[in-house]
Amino acid sequence: MQISKGAVAFMFESCRQLTITDWAWNSDKKHEHEPKMWDNLVDNFSEHLDEINEILGKKTL
């Protein structure tokens, strides 16, 4: 399944509360989509849990 051809997506985590400016919210460039588009996304991560746990088991913090 191809989600957005020619698009760049990113994700980040922060302990701070984020907000969007009025300018950005009202921009004609704002991308809106149907949330259900993610319903058929395949969980490939869970297929590698044994490998991931093995790698994490070798790490010490």
Q: List, for residues 13-23, the tens digit of each pLDDT value.
A: 888 888 889 99
What's the total number of domains in the chain? Answer: 1
Residue 61 within any structural domain of the chain: yes
Residue 25 within any structural domain of the chain: no
Residue 42 within any structural domain of the chain: yes
Residue 61 above 60 pLDDT? Answer: no
C-alpha to C-alpha distance for 5 and 18, rounded to whole angstroms: 27
Residue 18 within any structural domain of the chain: no
Residue 50 within any structural domain of the chain: yes
Query: How high is the pLDDT of residue 7?
Result: 75
CA end-to-end distance (rounded Å), the chain: 37
Give the three-class secondary structure for 16.
coil
Query: How high is the pLDDT of residue 44?
Result: 84
Residue 3 within any structural domain of the chain: no
42-48 average pLDDT score: 86
